[in-house]
Structure 1
Amino acid sequence: MNPTLLFWIPALLRMGLILAGAAVLWWLFGLVYGLAAALLAVIFLLFVQLRYLNQLGVWLDEPHSARLPDGWGSWTEIFARLYRLRRDDERNKAELTEWLARFRQAMHLLPDGVAIMDDVLFLEWCNPAAERHLGLTLERDKGMRVTNLIRHPDFIDYIILGRYEQPLTLAFRDRKLICQIIPFENRRQILVTHDVTETVRIEEMRRDFIANASHELRTPLTVIVGFLEIASSDMMIDAETRAAHLKLMTEQGHRMQRLIEDMLTLSRLESVDYPLRRERVDMRALVEEILGEARALSGGRHTIGATVDGPDVNGSAEELRSAFGNLASNAVRYTPEGGSIALAWRDGPGGPRFVVTDTGIGIDQSHISRLTERFYRVDKSRSRETKGTGLGLAIVKHVLLRHGGNLSITSEAGKGSSFIANLPGG
């Protein structure tokens, strides 16, 4: 039914009842009584309307569906409609609050930085990733101009030029960031930052690895190919020279073989498809085996001893043999003839450890932090003499990482070194 009719029909009925009642009193008691009764009825109705208007005004100051008053007459329908509207509004508000909470949680967990700015670049909001990337603090920096907070010439130029369709690569706060501004709505912009520091570092490591591996393989290949060309030519070569060439080619072939084997080992250690296979490792037998290999490599040129005073561990015997063997062989290679080398497997407060101590040439402090990098060498010429591949300590580091351990190094140039492979306790 038409809402207008719903209002006027009850109103006219009430007025009709008042007039009918007044007419009856007029007929029974006279005109004065009839008019007085009609006036009192109208005043009562007016009082009721004013009372409900007052209640409506109070409710509008603090609207809540549970506090909405009951009505009478047309007010019943009015309050019923207000109740439905307010209830729908509260439901929508609750849903909006829930979605806003989800949005904020998602923004907090997002690895990319998101900062919302107005059209003149005043900061309105940012997530924790943006705070980390750009050095912002929302509570402190909200309402401040972003160009005053991010003082970098490239970023300022990016803002001035306004070519936002292309991202900006920014070196900022020891990070590599890809930044892009995305306009949205009429008076707001979003600054998105993506941290590519680790990606760039891995890419640089990949390039360096390929360059170093190519360089390491080039020398033995050049030697072998050169001697093969001489051998295939018509040049007369005496038996002694041929024997020397064959010996050198064999040495270079073995060098390439060791290098390729170490590269394959590193690849396996870093692969997620090559999980750690734990077993109970007899550490006394393992250390004795490494001691034998070290003495064989030394050929009697060093004094080498070993002590075992630690527990057996759960791990990969093959990987631990490779890691500990690399530490021992490095000590042999870099300790001059007549020096001493001590191998020790002992228990400690933080867990068991394998310690290799030598009286070798030692390492300057500036090199220690980079020793586990692939192909990093303190003295390249000496490394070639000792037939090292440059990957031994990188293998040690990765084996220990897979076992939850770490490598610590103490050394002093000219006085020897101590390499400590720490494994977790328990």
Structure 2
Amino acid sequence: MNATYELSDLSSDVFYDALHALPDSVILLDDKACVLWHNPAAKTLLTAFFTDDDTPDVLGKPILKLLANEYFIEAFSQVYQDFLLGKYKAEQSANFKFPSKIFVGDVQMAQVSFLPASRMLLRIQNYTRIHHLEQMRTDFVGNVSHELRTPLTVLMGYLETFGSAPDLSAKWQRGFNLMREQARRMNNIVNDLLMLSRLENDESEPPAAVDMPRVLMQVFDDAQASNAESAHLIDLHLDTPKNLLGLEVYLHSAILNLVLNAMKYTPAGGEISIIWEEVKDGALLSVMDNGIGIAPEHLTRLTERFYRVDSGRSRATGGTGLGLAIVKHVLNKHDARLMIESTEGEGSAFKVLFPKSRLV
């Protein structure tokens, strides 16, 4: 018994020594969001807005009174409210970024980890360099995609004009058809990259009530318009009239991507089901097929940009490799979670859970 107790003490000491040594601010909070403990790096952050004469003892004080940053207060208050409503369980975490009020131009990343006994561990780190690198990458992709769009439009116009000339020989006709096909494929990639750039830059209108049954009917009609050759059996089940608080253009794009993806990887004559239903934790959108399925080792990487399970098949079906990356970004904007289930040779199910807070 004594040996176990000593080992427990040693583990605790090592743990706290490690937290003390971290350059990031680490703060332990109780169920009322008051400070129970903090490491040395956090003291500067917690007392930055007090003079030497009135620096308080931060222990027992509410974190929202100590960190006088309106961006942090707004984001943390939302996370804390969700915590009180039971939306987070022990061992789950929430992340958010906010601009620093101490060092102008700096960006900080906060992670709130939920612990047993209704405690929270708040970790705040300087995210400025990573944020700037991400912004440079996003700007570069957006700018290059935008610059490519005009010359591509001109090329596609001339290819369409000359390729439709009545006196064009069969030899040249085949060449023009290939050029038009590749130009369209490149145009699709550019459009998808621009969509990702808009999503990452958050250039969007405030969320509004989205009529989900109507959006899903539009998706169904769009899918049927692309279904002439494959003759898939597409079923739409609207089991709830619930609407979502969100951005209709992005939601339509994400859902259509999921459905078109199912069509691409389901043999002709296969079955695809789209289901919209209310569940205990919110609303669930399911897109299921009886297609070729996906091997388990690929599932965790499907939402990466340009990741392809079978690159040859993706090119043959006209895929850009960006569809599921767009889906991921749209769902993040709507606080939704994507779950993927698949069995090779039997089919796949892409399920999206929207939280109750998004239902209207």
Matching residue of 1:153 = none
**Cα distance, 1:314 vs. partner?**
1.6
Are positions 1:246 and 2:184 aligned together?
no
Percentage of identical aligned residues: 41
Q: After TM superposition, list the pairs within 5 Å mapping 1:347-362 onto structure 2.
A: 347-362=278-293
Q: Quick check: 1:288 aligned with 2:288?
A: no
Structure 1 equivalent of residue 314 of structure 2 = 383
Secondary structure of the corresponding residue to residue 335 of structure 2: coil
Show the 5 A alignment for 1:99-178: 111=24, 127=40
1:335 aligns with 2:266: yes
2:45 maps to what in 1? none
| SS of aligned partner of 1:360 | coil
> Contact 1:297 / 1:332 at 8 angstroms: preserved in 2?
no
Corresponding residue of 1:89:
none
Q: Does 1:270 align with 2:270?
A: no
What is the DSSP-based 3-state SS (H/G/I as helix, E as strand, rest coil) of the residue aligned with 2:355?
Answer: coil
C-alpha distance in 2 between matches for 1:112 and 1:284: 46
Greater per-residue strand proportion = 2
Match of residue 298 from structure 2: 367
The aligned residue for residue 112 of structure 2 is none
Q: Distance in 1 between matches of 2:215 and 2:204?
A: 22
Is residue 290–residue 348 contact of structure 2 (8 Å, CA) maintained in 1?
Answer: yes
Distance of 2:268 and 2:214 partners within structure 1 = 27
* Structure 2 letter corresponding to 1:335: T
Return the offset for 1:260: 0.7
Count of residues in Structure 1 that have an aligned counterpart in Structure 2: 227
Residues 78-129 of structure 1 show CA distances to partners (whole Å, capped at 9, x for unaligned) of xxxxxxxxxxxxxxxxxxxxxxxxxxxxx9996379xxxxxxxxxxxx7478
How many Å separate the matches in 1 of 2:22 and 2:299?
Answer: 37
Distance in 2 of aligned mates of 1:353 and 1:316: 17
Contact 1:112/1:195 (8 A) holds in 2: no
For 1:370 and 1:127, the matched residues in 2 are separated by: 38
Paired residues for 1:175-194 under 5 Å: none
Gaps of 5+ in 2: 1-19, 27-38, 43-124
Backbone CA RMSD of aligned residues: 3.8
- C-alpha spacing 1:238/1:281, structure 2 compared with 1 (3 Å): closer
Give the conservation status (yes or no) of the 8 Å contact 2:189–2:320.
yes
Aligned to 1:388, what secondary structure does the other structure show?
A: coil
Whose radius of gyration is greater, 1 or 2?
1
Deviation at 1:276, TM superposition (A): 4.8
SS at match of 1:298: coil
The CA deviation at 1:264 is 0.6
Other structure's SS at 1:288 match:
helix
> What is the CA-CA distance between 1:277 and the residue it aligns to?
2.5
Shift of 1:282: 1.5
Runs of 4+ in 1 over 2 A off after TM superposition: 107-113, 126-129
Q: Offset of 1:312 from its aligned partner?
A: 1.4
5+ residue gaps, structure 1: 1-106, 114-125, 130-193, 232-236
1:192-271 pair list within 5 angstroms = 199=130, 239-271=169-201
* C-alpha distance 414-206 of structure 1, shift in aligned 2 (>3 A): farther
Q: Relative to 1, partners in 2 of residues 1:288 and 1:242: Cα closer, same or farther, differing over 3 Å?
A: same
Amino acid in the other structure paired with 1:307:
H
CA distance in 1 between counterparts of 2:338 and 2:214 reads 22
Measured at CA, do residues 128 and 336 of structure 1 come closer, stay the same or move farther in structure 2, by a change above 3 Å? farther
Q: Distance in 1 between matches of 2:224 and 2:293?
A: 20
Partner Cα distance (2:255, 2:21) in 1: 44
**Structure 1 residue matching 2:352: 3-state secondary structure:** strand
Output one character per residue of 1:253-282: Cα deviation in whole Å (capped at 9) or x when no partner: 11111111110111111114x145222211
Greater share of helix residues, 1 or 2? 1
Superposition TM-score, scaled by structure 1 size:
0.47
Alignment match, 2:238:
308
Aligned-pair CA distance for 1:413: 1.1
2:349 alignment partner in structure 1? 418
Is the Cα contact below 8 Å between 2:25 and 2:41 reproduced in 1? Answer: no
Per the alignment, residue 56 of structure 1 pairs with none
* Mapping for residues 36-75 of structure 1, pairs under 5 Å: none
1 CA distance for matches of 2:302 and 2:126? 27
**Counterpart residue number, 1:120:** none
Cα shift at 1:369: 0.5
SS in 2 for 1:400: helix
Q: Could you say what secondary structure the match of 1:338 adopts?
A: coil
**Distance of 2:308 and 2:137 partners within structure 1:** 18
Amino acid at match of 2:201: S
What CA distance in whole angstroms lies between the structure 2 residues aligned with 1:241 and 1:335? 34
Q: How far apart, in 1, do the equivalents of 2:214 and 2:41 lie? A: 52
Counterpart CA distance in 2 for 1:371 and 1:278 is 27
Q: CA deviation at 1:364?
A: 0.7
Distance in 1, Cα, partners of 2:275 & 2:222: 15
Structure 2: distance between partners of 1:368 and 1:276: 32
Structure 1 residue 394: Cα displacement:
0.7
CA distance in 2, matches of 1:374, 1:127: 40
Question: Alignment partner of 2:221: what SS?
Answer: helix
The question of 1:395 aligning with 2:326 is answered: yes
Counterpart Cα distance in 1 of 2:237 and 2:312: 33
The residue identity in structure 2 corresponding to 1:358 is D
**SS in structure 2 at match of 1:423:** strand
Alignment partner, residue 252 of structure 2: 321
Structure with greater contact order relative to length (CA < 8 Å, sep ≥ 6): 2
